């Protein structure tokens, strides 16, 4: 597996920062802490959906840093965050919107930086 390296240091930093954020999200969700599970239930997902999300976030992180798959990771990560945003809008708990928007911003920055 060849790791992503951008054409500039900034490219590399932006992609790895986005990957790191998704890796942290995956670890937090995979912990299955009662507060995490309760958050998913509040968003009208089954309690076990935290582990499904963790798997998708881990896949996103790996795809972002693997050479040639960055854009697949960006699309997968964007889908995850758009579903999260839609779920937040559905329950009208707008205070929860900043984290998914920050993740989307990181993905956008990773997407516009450098070459694949």
Note whether residue 98 is domain-resident.
Answer: yes
Confidence of residue 4 (pLDDT cuts 50, 70, 90): confident
pLDDT tens-place string over residues 83-110: 999 999 999 999 999 999 999 999 999 9
Which of 109, 95, 114, 78 lies closest to 42 in space, CA to CA? 95
pTM: 0.92
Contacts 24+ apart (CB under 8 A), 86-95: 87/43, 87/44, 87/45, 88/43, 90/43, 90/44, 91/42, 91/43, 91/44, 93/42
Q: What is the CA radius of gyration of the chain?
A: 14
Query: What range defines the domain where residue 87 resides?
Result: 9-112
pLDDT at 86: 97
Note whether residue 88 is domain-resident.
Answer: yes
pLDDT tens-place string over residues 33-77: 999 999 999 999 999 999 999 999 999 999 999 989 999 999 999
C-alpha to C-alpha distance for 92 and 58, rounded to whole angstroms: 28
pLDDT at 97: 96
pLDDT at 8: 82
Q: Strands (DSSP E) along 1-116, which ranges?
A: none
Note whether residue 25 is domain-resident.
Answer: yes
Q: How many structural domains compose the chain? A: 1
Note whether residue 36 is domain-resident.
Answer: yes
Note whether residue 2 is domain-resident.
Answer: no
pLDDT at 114: 61
Note whether residue 60 is domain-resident.
Answer: yes
The residue with greater pLDDT, 115 or 10, is: 10
pLDDT for residue 16 is more than 70: yes
Give residue 59's Cα distance to chain centre.
9
Which 3 state secondary structure label does DSSP give 114? coil
């Amino acid at each position: 597996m060849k790791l992503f390296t951008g054409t500039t240091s900034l490219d590399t930093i932006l992609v790895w920062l986005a990957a790191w954020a998704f890796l942290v999200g995956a670890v937090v969700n995979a912990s299955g802490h009662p507060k995490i599970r309760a958050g998913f239930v509040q968003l009208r997902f089954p309690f076990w959906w935290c582990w499904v999300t963790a798997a998708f976030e881990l896949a996103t992180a790996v795809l972002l840093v693997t050479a040639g798959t960055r854009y697949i990771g960006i699309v997968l990560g964007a889908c995850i965050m758009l579903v999260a945003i839609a779920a937040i809008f559905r329950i009208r708990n707008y205070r929860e919107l900043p984290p998914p928007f920050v993740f989307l911003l990181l993905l956008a920055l990773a997407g516009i930086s450098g070459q694949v």
